[in-house]
Amino acid sequence: MYGKTFGYIRKGAAMLLNILFPMLTAVVHFQFIIFGRLTEASARDLCWVIAAVSFFAYYSLFKQGVKYDTDLRDRYLDAENQNLFTALKMAFTSPYLWIVSAVTALEFFLIKISAFAVVFNNGAATALARLKIAGICLPLFVVLGVIAFLTASRDWKKDGRDSKKYSNAAYYEQMAIAVGAYLIGGVVLVYLFPYFSGLTGIFKGLADAITLNGLLTILSVIAALIIVPPVIRSVRGLLKRKSFFKQLERVCREKGYTLSEIKVPYKSLFQPYAGESFTVQTDKKTYSCKLICGMKKRIPMVLYEDGTGEYIHAFHIGKKGAQIEIFRYVKKFSFAYESASDKILIVLPVPKFMQMNKAGKIFDMDNGEVIGQYRMYAGTGFINALDRECVDGAKNKNIYKYI
């Protein structure tokens, strides 16, 4: 009992040192370097920004502490179900969440931070006022800590037990990047804010000038920009699927093949689903077919031998052939399913860039290419292979023409 308690205290103290020292550095930086250089006239306008950045700094640093904790990572990966409920349960039952949140709130009580006094208590910084600030900040720290657990669990699930990605060197590198980004950002904020503070009157004038009808028009345009593109993609996908099913029925009828009922023909346009979509029985064998889709024409899709795939979202600048990648994130999905028949993966609509990862190496994919237990086709590519009776050996080097 005492050994377990001592272990919690030791690990909690280590985590506090790893997280709170950079956090304290950031808070002190804002308090004595940034906030001290601002004029009283502009300080009040910037207090909310300083408070928000401090909370973002807390979240970033807390997430790194959770993400690189070996015991927490192993507990999550060893859990029977690696899902949202498991991550939430770990967060709320972890002593680290409550210890770090409480001690950080205590830090805000002990240190007079003018920006937080302005935001949460009209500038008062007495002991009672700081206690009120700590009481307000504590639940915010808990919420940010839970979000940090959720984002860390997503990384654990993606990276597994890769020791290189979770080494001490990687941890300190990430912490240094986080602290440096917030501190440098604070310095930049000091020098740029005077130029932006004068815009307050301009924005106020614009707000007074905008009528209700004008505001509704602006909101309608924004809503259209958000809603219309995915609606167009969905309609495009529905039309392509409908055309594919007509061609499939025609080929099966002409060849004398048996086509099963098509299960959830359009569901995979919106989200992955389990199991096969339909089967085609020829004179020689039965093919178990599953429909998946590319999210967007120019979003590359990568398939893995274990039955998982990725959509690669990346933002580049520069001309083709000399592009610099600015931002990237990956969305994973699963297409794996069980069947005693030969498994055919039909990508429809198919993105312009189809790739596969075999033994850690990336290759471009062709119609008829084998990845793990699956043979991949674009929609029209599969129709043509059925028509030519060469599903098991067809390849075409220009898959994009089969969109």
pLDDT in tens, the chain (403 residues): 455 566 666 666 666 655 555 555 555 545 544 555 444 444 565 667 667 777 777 787 788 878 887 778 888 888 777 778 888 888 888 877 887 788 777 777 776 666 666 666 676 667 777 787 778 878 888 888 888 888 888 888 777 776 667 777 777 777 777 766 766 666 666 566 555 555 455 455 555 656 667 667 777 777 777 788 888 888 888 899 999 999 999 999 999 999 999 888 888 888 778 889 999 998 888 999 999 888 777 788 899 988 888 888 777 665 665 556 666 778 888 888 999 899 999 998 888 888 888 877 888 888 888 888 999 999 888 998 898 888 887 555 444 443 4
The answer to whether position 47 is within a domain reads yes
175 and 252 inside one domain:
no
Domain total in the chain: 2
The answer to whether position 222 is within a domain reads no
Phi, psi at 292, each rounded to 5°: -130, 175
pTM of the model: 0.50
The per-residue pLDDT for 330 is 80
Which among 209, 230, 265 is the end of a domain?
209
243 and 203 inside one domain:
no
Q: How many helices (H) and strands (E) does the chain have?
A: 11, 11
160 and 63 inside one domain:
yes
Beta-carbon contacts of residue 184 (< 8 Å; ≥ 6 apart) = none
155 and 107 inside one domain:
yes
Q: Is the peptide bond before 349 cis (omega within 30 degrees of 0)?
A: yes
The per-residue pLDDT for 186 is 61
The per-residue pLDDT for 280 is 92
Number of residues that make up the chain: 403
| Domain residue limits at 10 | 2-209
245 and 382 inside one domain:
yes
The answer to whether position 94 is within a domain reads yes
- CA–CA dist 149, 338 (Å, integer): 33
The per-residue pLDDT for 7 is 60
The answer to whether position 216 is within a domain reads no
| Buried b or exposed e, range 288-312, using 16+ CB within 10 angstroms | bbbbbbbbbeeebbbbbeebebbbe
Contact between 213 and 221 under an 8 Å Cβ cutoff? The reply is no
Which among 165, 194, 209 is the end of a domain?
209
133 and 92 inside one domain:
yes
End-to-end CA distance of the chain: 64
The per-residue pLDDT for 278 is 92
The answer to whether position 228 is within a domain reads no
191 and 303 inside one domain:
no
For 348, which DSSP code?
A: S
281 and 161 inside one domain:
no
The per-residue pLDDT for 397 is 47
190 and 277 inside one domain:
no
Beta-carbon contacts of residue 9 (< 8 Å; ≥ 6 apart) = none
| Buried b or exposed e, range 86-116, using 16+ CB within 10 angstroms | ebeebbeebebbbbbbeebbebbbeeebbbb
The per-residue pLDDT for 345 is 92
Which among 189, 209, 229 is the end of a domain?
209
- Kindly report the number of other CB atoms within 10 A of residue 375's CB atom: 23
* Identity of the residue numbered 121: N
Per DSSP, the residues of 352-368 read S-EEEEETTEEEE--BT
260 and 368 inside one domain:
yes
Q: How far is CA 48 from CA 20, 45, 116, 270, in A?
A: 22, 7, 8, 39
The per-residue pLDDT for 219 is 75
202 and 249 inside one domain:
no
244 and 204 inside one domain:
no
Per DSSP, the residues of 74-107 read HHHHHSS--SHHHHHHHHHH-HHHHHHHHHHHHH
The answer to whether position 320 is within a domain reads yes
The answer to whether position 395 is within a domain reads yes
The answer to whether position 218 is within a domain reads no
